Structure 1
Amino acid sequence: METFDSTKRSLIEILKDVHSGKIQLPDFQRGWIWDDNRIKGIIASVAKSFPIGAIMLLETGNENVRFKTKPVEGVKLNDDLKPDLLILDGQQRITSLYQTIITNEIVSTRNEKNYEIKRWYYIDMTKATDESYDLEEAIISINEKKQITEDFGRRIVLDLSKKEFEFKNLMYPVSMIDDYSAWRREFYEYWQYDREKCMFWDKFEDRIINSFNKYMLPVIIMKKENPKEAVCQVFEKVNTGGVS
């Protein structure tokens, strides 16, 4: 009897399954704790098509292996939906990408001093399309007001509080990656279909948007036929090596 399958799945499809509740967490999974820099790092890794590691999922449906379940943090489910798969390894990676790409809501995270902060995530389109920059430099996070300030908040350096400010400053919201065509349409309208800006967008879409939409994530699926002891042993092993 095969106890697991190894495959690859579209990252965006996995995040949509998280959103719908098809993929959830065992209730005993602890909360996610990734900080702002790690979130920016994983966004950059996907944008660069770099590997971010496999995730491990467990098939549900075995009457002898029943866990209480909960949705990934940030998911809003209307009813008590039973999932098809549970995340055993990869919770932090999936949660970080789900919250930044799918929810279109501000993300609760922590800074270098471990203080809780709330952040919106953007891609500097100019840096992202300039190969002299590392893509990590193109990923930025900004506060609740969507502003970067200096001089103790007295001087606004970057203001993205309105959509037209995003277009003007060529700053792309990570939360629009899955709905990029709507943002692109308004971007074209803002720049009055300027040829150079249209070509600029094409370069950005080809280099960045396509990287996310084509990203394939290695997935290990534990079959539901596995006994509870095997599932618990696997979970214990993958979660004693640090935050996943």
Structure 2
Amino acid sequence: MNQLLKKVRLNQFKLPQFQRDFVWNEAQVALLIDSIARNYPIGSLLLLEPSPEIRLSTRPLQVAVDDSESTLGNSLSENPPEDEDTPTEGQELLILDGQQRMTSIVRVLLNAHPQKTYWFDLQALYSSFEDERSDWIKKTSFAGVKDPTRNNGRWVRADLVTEGEEQKHVIDYFLGFFKEERDKAMKAIQKVNRIFETIRNYEVPYILLDGQEGIEAICRIFETINSTGTRLTTFDLAVARYFPEPDLRNLYERARSSHNLLKRFDIDGERILQIIVLIEKNTEPSRSEQLKLRKEDINKNWDKAVSALVSAIKWAQSECGLEPRYYVGESQLVALAGALADLEPKKQQAFLVEKRDKLVQWFFANVLQSGFRATNYRIFIHYKSLQKLLEEGQIPEDDLPEVKLDLESLINLAKSDNRYKAIQALLRRVIPEDFYSGSRIESDVLEIHHIFPRSFGGKKKVDSIANLVPLTSESNQLLSNRNPSDYIRDLKDRMGINVANHRLRNALLPIQFTPGGEINPLILSDDQYETFLRERGKLILEKIKEVLGNRLAENPPDD
């Protein structure tokens, strides 16, 4: 423990800029210190020794260390030499994982909290430590207090323990507390001293990376060890890599403020860097390529990449029905933005209009693939295909994959399947108006309505894509939990047979009213639910066929 705290005083530990701020609450801090006092494992720190290949901008720990009156540095001068694998004095070390633990230890054991001082309650340690309680750790609201004790000697300032300066206060307190019962006093002193000795001798485990492994290996190691925490993204690394010029975090927040679409779709800053790689390097926008960008590349292309990405998302919204609630096609949008970025605004618009049908087919042929995932490799393939479209008017066949989707598969798609979201987008595209009210469905009032409600008959496939239709929030609320045969008859009574039939066709609902006002076919009852799903699924497949053309397999083989 003392070796670690010495390195803190020497300002050796730094936080890469991608690390978030300290967020632990007081209960978490107390539990950590209590675990150390009991010699429980607290997990390893992941440290990185910077190298010429990996230079990350850093900031200090969120602590207020004052070494002006400390004897900690001198107290270690007679320690034996460190092992070869131990970080040497003065060596900068970046904390990749463990900043919450490290900051907590330093704030308590070096009296380094910016607003508080920590104390150890000697009486609580003596009387209730065995009860696995951590309430022996106390705090007061003033930082940097110099008094060694409080409450008539019962509380000892926490940082004294690390330097062995607490012992005389422990002796004085228990001799005074037990008065003539010297044996009890000595037992109490020994018990509390053993606890403090455990703290002083505690060895905080760490893993030291020497920086020679390369940025990809460093990220893999971080993500493996930190699997239960926040994932280290490429953009996090880039923020640290380039800070303070350019300040990517600031650029990213400004872009989100200027373009609400980026905020609504929760677009990661990495997408902008990927676009810059495409237009600047014409290569696969991998993590390593993003981190090899020159500062001038980013400054020159940032605004252009942001603008192109916004244009790509707007196009996908208007032509493909894309919405934040079913956001798919991220790799296609990055590639499209790359293709748009070097075009003047008028040429961008002309390209999107003239090649609309080919682009829509390309988009859905890719997002309707089973198990689809966005990858840097696919982004580059898509980008090259769109360049071909720009130059030669055609998208290569190998970037228009065949979609294998039959009626049974469509009806039984899981909500977690990317194709489920893709078909929701397609329904949004082909059903722009609310069939019940006739109003246009704007993004801010869009809701997804279950034609047969969950409360009607307890159907197993109530979330089937064939049971969904886009509506306005007002209509969805009005129709909620109602029998579809009831509200569809209500539609006929309000609007008449012709208008009702027109709206039902446009909503891909597989029913019509006869001239006599009867619903045909009679498939809106609970016992006909499976039949309803099949009939509506056929109508949805027809729309998918209209978009995909020959890219939809007529009779896909069983998977």
Give the TM-score normalised by the residue count of structure 1.
Answer: 0.69
Q: CA deviation at 1:84?
A: 2.5
Q: Distance between the aligned counterparts of 1:132 and 1:237, measured in 2?
A: 35
Q: Which residue of 1 aligns with 2:125?
A: 128
Matched, 1:229 2:216: yes
Q: Distance between the aligned counterparts of 2:228 and 2:59, measured in 1?
A: 23
Alpha-carbon contact 1:18-1:71 (below 8 Å) kept: no
Matched, 1:28 2:18: yes
Q: Distance between the aligned counterparts of 1:237 and 1:77, measured in 2?
A: 35
Q: Distance between the aligned counterparts of 2:66 and 2:56, measured in 1?
A: 18
Q: Which residue of 2 aligns with 1:142?
A: 139
Alpha-carbon contact 2:31-2:134 (below 8 Å) kept: no
Alpha-carbon contact 2:149-2:157 (below 8 Å) kept: no
By percentage of residues, which structure has more strand?
1
Q: CA RMSD in A?
A: 3.4
Matched, 1:177 2:195: no
Q: Residue by residue, what CA displacement relative to the aligned partner does 1:175-221 show, whole Å, maximum 9, x if unpaired?
A: 2222332x4335556768x7565653333112x11111111122111
Give the TM-score normalised by the residue count of structure 2.
Answer: 0.32
Q: CA deviation at 1:83?
A: 4.6
Distance change >3 Å, CA 145–CA 130, structure 1 → 2: same
Q: Residue by residue, what CA displacement relative to the aligned partner does 1:117-152 show, whole Å, maximum 9, x if unpaired?
A: x54332222231336742424433333169xxxxxx
Alignment coverage as a number of residue pairs: 204
Question: Where do 5+ consecutive residues of structure 2 fail to align?
Answer: 68-89, 231-559
Q: CA deviation at 1:98?
A: 0.5
Q: Distance between the aligned counterparts of 2:134 and 2:170, measured in 1?
A: 23
Q: Which residue of 2 aligns with 1:154?
A: none
Alpha-carbon contact 1:145-1:161 (below 8 Å) kept: no
Alpha-carbon contact 1:46-1:215 (below 8 Å) kept: yes
Alpha-carbon contact 2:147-2:157 (below 8 Å) kept: no
Which has the higher Rg, Structure 1 or Structure 2? 2
Match of 1:97 among 91, 105, 112: 105
Partner AA of 2:34 in structure 1 = A
Greater relative contact order (CA < 8 Å, ≥ 6 in sequence): 1
Distance change >3 Å, CA 133–CA 174, structure 1 → 2: same
Alpha-carbon contact 1:26-1:69 (below 8 Å) kept: yes
* Other structure's SS at 2:229 match: coil
* Other structure's SS at 1:130 match: helix
Match of 1:210 among 183, 190, 197: 197
* Other structure's SS at 2:22 match: coil
Partner AA of 2:13 in structure 1 = I
Deviation above 4 Å: which 4+ runs of structure 1? 75-78, 160-164, 186-192, 194-199, 236-240
Distance change >3 Å, CA 63–CA 96, structure 1 → 2: same
By percentage of residues, which structure has more helix?
2
Q: Residue by residue, what CA displacement relative to the aligned partner does 1:141-184 show, whole Å, maximum 9, x if unpaired?
A: 333169xxxxxxxxxxxxx9965544x25222222222332x43
Question: Where do 5+ consecutive residues of structure 1 fail to align?
Answer: 1-10, 109-117, 147-159
Same amino acid, percent of matched pairs: 25
